A = this chain, B = another copy of it.
Amino acid sequence: MNVFIIGIGLIGGSFAKDIKRIHPETKVFGIDNNPAHLDEAIAMNIIDAKSSYDELGKADMVIVSIPVDVLVTELPKILDAVNDDCLVFDGGSTKSLICKTLEDHPKRRNYLACHPIAGTEFSGPSAAIENLYEGKTNIICEVEKTAFKLQEKALELFRQIGMRIRYMNPKAHDKHIAYVSHLSHISSFMLGKTVIEKEKNERDIFDMAGSGFESTVRLAKSSPAMWTPIFEQNKDNVVETLKEYIQNLQEFKALLEKDDFKGVYNKMSDTNKIKEILKGIPLNKEPRN
């Protein structure tokens, strides 16, 4: 089997690692606009060879893991280049614009719209993790638009790497993911910004920070190049979540200001049920290798 990974970073590299483990006979080709990442991926044995769009005709499977703005421009070209039996899927964190863009593409049936809910705040080939996807959710949109045989091929791979599948339409995906992922990133970035601004002349202050601070600002290490186009494509939903979040913060502040500490207690107590909800979220395991 010839697998092409377009974008050899955390997501694409982690797919490559799992595929090589499960199907050692597979040849993995890498395409990336960063030559250093390609060299690194070869040195790390994540890919077997560098490649280009000219060779896409020999691909059996193409995994496209690039920022969502580039997905919109590249996926049509990638579909143009692949053969009729090739499966193409992506890992973009938005789905509406991408599905809309490919709606009338003659090879729409070769494409499966995916969002694997997995990752860390790091990027590049060195961030790739074996078994990253084990126990994680893969959201598939518009599954009915993909050729049946290629659905099967994709689901077989997702089963082998241990993912659980959820089917959704692109609009619902983009709305809900704004709450459970995109908003977390903004809250984290702005929390980091608030503290850095205040404490810029007092670096020692961070000696006072504990694991709680680390946890809430961890996502502020994420790549702006990846996240800016996500926020752009999902702007309406993200703005809506931000409004509601700001509203909740303002209400909490108002309770403090009027010394309503019973109200403060209740706001927190009502949210404690997050304990039960979080139990269902699979976390990253230590890499096996």
Contact = CB atoms under 8 A, between A and B. Distances in A.
Contacts of A224: 265-266, 268-269, 272
B208 A267 contact: no
B281 A211 contact: yes
A131 B137 CA distance: 35
A196 B203 CA distance: 35
B197 A228 contact: no
Copies of this chain present = 2
A101 B69 CA distance: 58
A267 B194 contact: no
A280 B211 CA distance: 11
Interface residues of A, number: 98
Given A190-B245, A208-B139, A274-B221, A195 B183 contact: yes
Interface string A106-134: 00000000000111110000000000000
Given A195-B180, A224-B272, A214 B252 contact: no
A193 to B, nearest CB: 5
Given A194-B248, A245-B190, A252-B186, A215 B212 contact: no
A85 B238 CA distance: 59
B196 A181 contact: no
Looking at chain A's contact residues, the main secondary structure is helix
A137 B208 contact: yes
Interface stretch (A46-54, A74-82, A253-261): A253-261
Given A176-B199, A231-B261, A245-B249, A214 B283 contact: yes
Nearest to A69: B261
A190 B249 contact: yes
Given A224-B272, A244-B194, A249-B186, A207 B137 contact: yes
Given A180-B199, A190-B248, A192-B271, 5 more contacts: A173-B208, A176-B205, A180-B206, A186-B249, A187-B216
